[in-house]
Structure formats: structure tokens, C-alpha cells
């Protein structure tokens, strides 16, 4: 089996991907990346996933990139995180998938994240980098399979003579929809309560942003109990 650098944000998709790769027998090295995201508390979940998997974990501090990634609600505190269904601009389309030109998109972010992952792959002589995009993520830009293929071709040139000769880029969940990712994670006993999704990055999942809306709906359609504590429900319980 292969040695793989797994880019793990701490969300459902990337954590499930890591459990899936470990179940296949691969040797994992998890990489979390602080790119100045508002919801950087997700990284605590990435660290916890690494401990549970018994895998090495490193965290790349790229937080200084926040300034050049401005204009997105994920990296720019002056941009409000949209509330799903709460107005004309929600930041999503369809079933919670972000679309270009809206506040929860960080253009070119994945190129930044993957560059860090391939740098680590060179150092660790890993055979592959794994990235946790799923079917709903695949779009026209840096979440497309075309982008991943082109990025791998570029990295094979950039790392030639330094990296593993068969260096690869994997997207093992790319054919799965969110509900199927959750079903897979359930079979693998992924502790969903220790994953983070909410774009707001507060004490609890807000339950109202695009990412939370997608998370809630996917648990329902997957038929898997949702262990997430959402702020609105918690407040209602306190009132009672």
C-alpha cells in the first residue's frame, strides 16, 4: 500500500477520507492548513482525527495569506457569512453547494492547499496526496477534476528529481455525494461529533449557513443520526 499525505480540514469529508484510506491499509500523514479561515477551529478536529488514526500530523501556517484571499466570508471578517435561505444572496445554489462569485468562495484556495501538500509529499517521499472533494464540490474551477489533473501534471514537473517517481493526486470521494460520504463514514465509525463544518467558526455549529444546511440535510437523507449540536436548537432547549 501507499504512503499518502492526506489534506484534512477537520470536516466530514476529509476526515471520512482519512478513515477510508486507513481502512484500505495505506500509511497516512495528515496535513492541516491554516490559511486564515474564519472557521480555523476545524483544525482541532483534524488534529483529533490524526490522534485517533495513530497518524503523524502537521499543520502548515499559511494564515498570512488571508490578506490576498480577502473578499470571501471565509477569510475576510468584513464579509458576513450568508444565511442559507435568509435573503437574496445565500452563497449557495441547489442543495448547499457553493457557486462562484458568492461570499463563501475562496478562489484559488485549493491550489494553495495542494502546493503545501505536495511540498510535504516531497519531504516525506510519499507516493500520493489525497484531497477530500466530493461529487457536489466538483465545479468549473479549482474543484474540478480537470483542475486536479492539471495540478498533478504541474507538480510532477515541479518536483521532478525530488519526489517519488510515481507521485499521484487522489480524490477518493469524488464520485460520492454528501449523503454517501456520511453513509461511508458511518460504516467506518467516523466520530462525526468531532468534525467541523460551520463557516462561522463559533462555539457551536450555527445550523443556518450554507455548510451547516448541507450537513443537516445530508444526515437526514443518509438516514444516519446527526450528533451535531446546533446553536438554534441549543438555545431553544435552554429557553425551555
What local confidence, expressed as pLDDT, does residue 85 receive? 58
Question: 192-212, pLDDT tens digit by residue?
Answer: 999 999 999 999 999 999 999
Question: 82-97, pLDDT tens digit by residue?
Answer: 887 543 223 333 333 3
Question: 49-62, pLDDT tens digit by residue?
Answer: 999 999 999 999 99
Say how far apart CA 166 and CA 142 lie, in whole Å.
Answer: 23
| pLDDT, average across residues 130-151 | 95
Domain ranges of the chain: 3-239
Burial class (CB in 10 A: 0-12, 13-18, 19+), 68: exposed
Question: pLDDT class for 232, splitting at 50, 70, 90?
Answer: confident
What local confidence, expressed as pLDDT, does residue 235 receive? 64
Give me 217's grid cell: 440535510
* pTM of this structure: 0.90
The pLDDT of residue 16 is above 60: yes
Question: 162-171, pLDDT tens digit by residue?
Answer: 999 999 999 9
Beta strands in the chain (DSSP E): 3-7, 27-34, 57-61, 92-93, 97-98, 128-130, 168-170
- Kindly state which CATH superfamily the domain 3-239 is placed in: HUPs (3.40.50.620)
Amino acid at each position: 500500500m501507499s504512503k499518502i499525505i492526506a489534506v484534512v480540514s477537520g470536516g466530514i469529508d476529509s476526515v471520512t477520507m482519512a478513515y477510508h484510506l486507513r481502512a484500505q491499509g495505506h500509511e497516512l500523514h495528515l496535513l492541516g492548513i491554516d490559511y486564515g479561515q474564519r472557521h480555523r477551529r476545524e483544525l482541532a478536529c483534524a488534529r483529533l482525527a490524526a490522534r485517533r488514526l495513530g497518524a503523524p500530523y502537521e499543520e502548515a501556517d499559511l494564515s498570512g495569506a488571508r490578506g490576498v484571499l480577502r473578499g470571501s466570508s471565509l477569510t475576510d471578517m468584513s464579509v458576513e457569512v450568508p444565511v442559507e435561505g435568509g435573503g437574496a444572496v445565500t452563497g449557495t445554489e441547489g442543495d448547499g453547494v457553493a457557486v462562484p462569485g458568492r461570499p463563501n468562495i475562496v478562489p484559488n484556495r485549493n491550489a494553495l492547499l495542494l502546493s503545501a501538500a505536495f511540498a510535504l509529499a516531497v519531504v516525506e517521499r510519499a507516493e500520493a496526496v489525497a484531497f477530500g472533494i466530493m461529487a457536489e464540490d466538483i465545479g468549473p474551477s479549482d474543484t474540478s477534476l480537470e483542475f486536479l489533473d492539471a495540478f498533478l501534471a504541474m507538480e510532477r514537473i515541479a518536483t521532478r528529481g525530488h519526489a517519488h517517481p510515481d507521485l499521484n493526486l487522489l480524490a477518493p470521494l469524488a464520485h460520492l455525494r454528501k449523503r454517501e460520504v456520511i453513509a461511508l463514514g458511518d460504516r467506518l465509525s467516523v466520530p462525526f461529533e468531532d468534525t467541523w463544518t460551520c463557516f462561522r467558526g463559533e462555539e457551536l455549529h450555527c445550523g443556518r449557513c450554507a455548510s451547516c444546511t448541507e450537513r443537516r440535510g445530508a444526515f437526514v437523507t443518509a438516514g444516519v443520526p446527526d450528533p451535531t449540536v446546533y446553536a438554534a436548537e441549543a438555545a431553544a432547549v435552554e429557553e425551555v
